[in-house]
Structure 1
């Protein structure tokens, strides 16, 4: 059986998930007035980092999910696909909202509102709804909004995907020239107002997902992105510089800002896929480890950053040092938490953690060679 796995897709996803640590640590130091769950003195570098990363980063994760759905449905029936979405997205979502996310709202309430009750007592506050952010101590899905959106989008787009799979006349990858692919940011822009909840649009991310599924999953398109990786990469960098400059010029609201965000997001996705196909198509022990770890890392990381940040901003005086201490410590603790939870059947089930199949694979390979070794 031919291995259809695209290692560079996995590796781009790994890099995006590892970007969580500098990105969400930077939220503690953002300069646009968002208190987040813990806040310290604004840092210019942290502010620019978040402004530069967000437009292509989260959109990219939804797009990669759309690309991956193509390969997932090649190996699964529709029923198996739905079951997999339920087990790997819905159950971890509920588990996280009950067991992982509440600590963020609790710490926000303590930090900003001087809440003095216990963590258990705070659940009465947490399970009441205000603006969904959790910055005031009330309910929030926290970082698992991505899992919630991905589950919803996976389900609502499934009828369209099934219809297309059964359709005889499909989109031709050969016809998808770079001049047709680049303007597709307009689809994302037009979808952005649909079901926009707190600045996160289900319509926009569904458009990313579907463009990944229908367009960027095609071999001809991926080859074309690799061919044009240099101009796409240069355009990506220029658009990032433009966005940071616009912010400094106080052009951070209105139609121009919204259009620029979607252009930057789409060009960033195209550039990352083109560069990734050229330079990231490899598989080693590091990538194997993080391919399995990235989903639980996503679930755990933000709560740990908030806990560590709460302690560090009150004990370390220099903001730059705070930043690197929070980021480094949070990464280590997140990996430790993952290592503990992946060894326990209950937490593996609750948080969608894959079983470690490396030893089983080694035994299978050795057995096939007539040398069974454990």
Structure 2
């Protein structure tokens, strides 16, 4: 362990995490009916103009979660041994990943099977169908990806026993932080899986390590806070350019995600959020505490419930798409919270789905 005293909890990190997960929920409501050619469980096109939300959010919001996870890992390892950290990661990531896939994730596959012939017209036993359906993990990929990079971090720490990388990273100047855009852009080409395209290992692993080594320094964060407004103006301007330039194209394709504009935009947005959060999100109230306690559950639970509700609405009603969005948006927040209130009172199910 690198220390025995836990650092003071920074409220704005909790608020960044909670707010980003709220954006994930909003994104998925639009994504499942996107007209941009991004593969969805429900191949029904919604209102194309709303796709602009996806173009604006998709490049950076998961990258931001990996940065925050890296910072949190640094703080966690200050009061835990490597073995304790690894065991905790198994309980908090692998158990919910498997539990979520087998208890809820099958719903994603079940809905998809109504639109895609997953078994080539062959008669397949129900149990086999269930196992295939569970492979449609949805957002649970984040838990698996985070576990892998957490274990790689332990290896890096073992090679760097004196923590020289962290000490060196603490000297990062503001221009250097901006220039980190270049390795970020380069990482978008590295270790991307060819079939399961959400596993963009290169950029996500780099984001986690940048969080751990660079942005866990108060001195580094202070520099971002000082220039938060400037970074925000730049990030929003780049976001508008991103939407205008790529609108109508597949925003999850390599052509978009490996473009220098996309990577510059996502990096400036992350710097802006880390700076702005210190100024305006460093507080705690009943709402932030409520979301902090339930944000992980919102992430794990929302997608299977959303996809199932979207299937029923579009199959058994003739509502206009505007009404479908208006129903699904509050549903996607309310249903997971209600589900959490039930699950949190059932010890075995709570452990399998939430790791606690």
Q: Does the pair score TM above 0.5?
A: yes
| 1:208 equivalent in structure 2 | 207
Select which of 51, 55, 59 maps to 1:51.
55
Report the equivalent of 1:338. Answer: 340
Output one character per residue of 1:175-202: Cα deviation in whole Å (capped at 9) or x when no partner. Answer: 3221100111222222223321233311
Match of 1:65 in 2: 69
**Stretch deviating more after TM superposition (251-260 or 149-158):** 251-260
CA distance, structure 2, for counterparts of residue 304 and residue 93 of structure 1: 16
Query: What are the ranges of 5 or more consecutive residues in structure 1 without an aligned counterpart?
Result: 129-136, 355-374
Q: 1:251 to 1:87 in 2, by over 3 A?
A: closer
Taking the aligned partners of 1:155 and 1:213, their CA distance within structure 2 comes to 13
**Distance in 1 of aligned mates of 2:334 and 2:52:** 25
Conservation of the 8 A alpha-carbon contact between 2:187 and 2:206: yes
Alpha-carbon deviation of 1:342?
Answer: 1.0
Structure 2: distance between partners of 1:232 and 1:15: 19
1:144/1:299 contact within 8 Å kept: yes
Corresponding position: 1:298 with 2:296: no
Q: Give the match's secondary structure for 2:46.
A: coil
- Say if 1:165 and 1:72 are closer, same or farther in 2 by CA, change over 3 A: farther
- Greater RCO (CA < 8 Å, at least 6 residues apart): 2
Of 51-60 and 158-167, deviating more is 158-167
TM-score when scaled to structure 1?
0.85
Classify 1:83/1:13 alpha carbon distance in 2 versus 1 (closer, same or farther; 3 Å): same
For 1:20-39, list aligned pairs within 5 A: 20-39=24-43
CA gap 1:98/1:43 in 2 versus in 1, 3 angstroms: same
Q: How does 1:157-196 map to 2 (within 5 A)?
A: 157-164=153-160, 166-167=162-163, 170-172=166-168, 175-196=171-192
1:329 paired residue number: 331
Give the whole-Å Cα distance in 2 for the aligned partners of 1:18 and 1:47: 17
Query: How many Å separate the matches in 1 of 2:159 and 2:192?
Result: 27
Q: Within 5 Å, which residues of 2 pair with 1:192-341?
A: 192-197=188-193, 198-199=196-197, 200-248=199-247, 254=255, 258-314=259-315, 315-341=317-343
SS in 2 for 1:55: coil
8 Å contact from structure 2 (residues 66, 207) kept in 1: yes
Q: For structure 2, list consecutive stretches of 5 or more residues without a partner in the other structure.
A: none
Distance 2:17 2:355 in 1: 16
Q: CA RMSD in A?
A: 2.5
SS of residue in 2 equivalent to 1:281: coil
Q: Deviations over 1:282-328 (max 9, x none)?
A: 12222222212111211110001001101122314211111120111
SS, match of residue 345 in structure 2: coil
TM-score, reference length from structure 2: 0.89
- 340, 349, 353: which one aligns with 1:351: 353
Tell me the matched-pair count: 343
